[in-house]
Amino acid sequence: MLKDKNVILGVTGGIAAYKSVEIASRLRKAGASVHVIMTAGAQNFVTSMTFREITGNPVITTMWGEITNHQVEHIALAELADLMIIAPATANFIAKAAAGMADDMLTTTVLATKVPIFFAPAMNSNMYNNQLTQANIKRLVELGWRFIPPASGHLACGTDGIGRLPEPAEILDFVENELSHEEDFIGKKLLVTAAGTYEPIDPVRYIGNRSSGKMGYAIAEAAKKRGAEVTLVSGPSALTAPAGVKLVRVETAAQMRQAVLEFFDEADIIIKAAAVADYRVREVADQKIKKNDDELVLVLEKNPDILFELGQKKKSGQILVGFAAETQHLLEYAKAKLEKKNLDMIVANDVSRKDAGFNVDTNAVKLLYRDGTVQELPVMTKYKLANELLNMVIKL
């Protein structure tokens, strides 16, 4: 992946800067041409000479020196690069990047380049967990920049916690893994549904479920990053749509059905991660229901099963993926849904687990296929799982 790539390695002023020397060395061994830019802070921890020897290229330490090599003029370098890695990325540097500042060579290059940028934050746990740092990271992630999660362990400041720079080999693995997913969905149209639906009772009340939409939004984001044209049909959710994704907001199962049918024909891949309400209130009250009696009886009637309908309409070449949210008999129920709804793959989700299912950031699933194969995946973040699912979809 990294062979013949021009990589800008940004080094900022944290104690973990010494590990960047090994990152530079590994990048070079992988066949990349490495251009190091050091902030003033970084130069207190490692010398530019070390990086020059390791990379065989001039090291940029200031914006104001004499330009001796045209390749290192800041815009030129920003354009020459194939990717950028900032490791370690201090809280200060992340804040400056999030604010769009350009007060030294590294911030300037970050602002001027259009290539993928990876940040590997390393800092004290409290600084990392601070709401400001987290808000800065969130802002950058929303804009498409990538963060390599810090490791937990003993920190230079003497405490234990999150904030360690991951090992150089792990950083390179992460980068290579992300790059290998680049653009394999170009030319593919993906329709994904997310979150639960709300079924109204009266103007102020509804029947809903605990789905946050995290899984569906993660799939939309990952597919978009891999080049797909993505339509996200979402029930009510607090999440923001990933950049570049077409978002269609709906509330009820009936509205979701209508939106999905509108985009179904043109979609190559349909992933139904939404938790659709199976029933709706038969007679929705026009006015707020008053609490008069001791008992209130609501009659519910069945909603259409959208996925079942899609399975009937599916054309050859379309890939249809469903989810099965179960609290018991996971494989048995999931297999029945796979067959009944004519799916190519079903993601079986044990929602009784604390680390999986509704409203958490991780998921642990089993994938079932038409040929009877079952694949168990370990607990992972929903974003990583989204990429795993897309890997399987491409194979299908």
Residues taking part in catalysis: 157
Closer of 253 and 368 to ligand CTP (Cβ): 253
Closer of 94 and 351 to ligand CTP (Cβ): 351
Cβ distance 207 to 236 under 8 Å?
no
The CA angle 146-150-156, to the nearest 5 degrees, is 140
**CA 268 remoteness from chain centre:** 21
Closer of 12 and 303 to ligand CTP (Cβ): 303
DSSP secondary structure letter of residue 60:
B
**Chain positions contacting ligand CTP, by CB under 6 A:** 253, 272, 274, 276, 278, 303, 305-307, 322-325, 337
Rounded to the nearest 10 degrees, how much is the dihedral formed by the CA atoms of 337, 338, 341, 345?
A: 140
Provide, rounded to whole angstroms, the least separation between the CB of residue 272 and ligand CTP.
4
3-class DSSP assignment, residue 119: strand
Provide, rounded to whole angstroms, the least separation between the CB of residue 362 and ligand CTP.
19
Which secondary-structure segment (H or E) carries 8? strand 6-11
Backbone angles phi, psi at 33, to 5 degrees: -95, 120
Considering only CA atoms, which of 315, 286, 284 is closest in space to residue 301?
284
Considering only CA atoms, which of 140, 131, 70 is closest in space to residue 107?
140
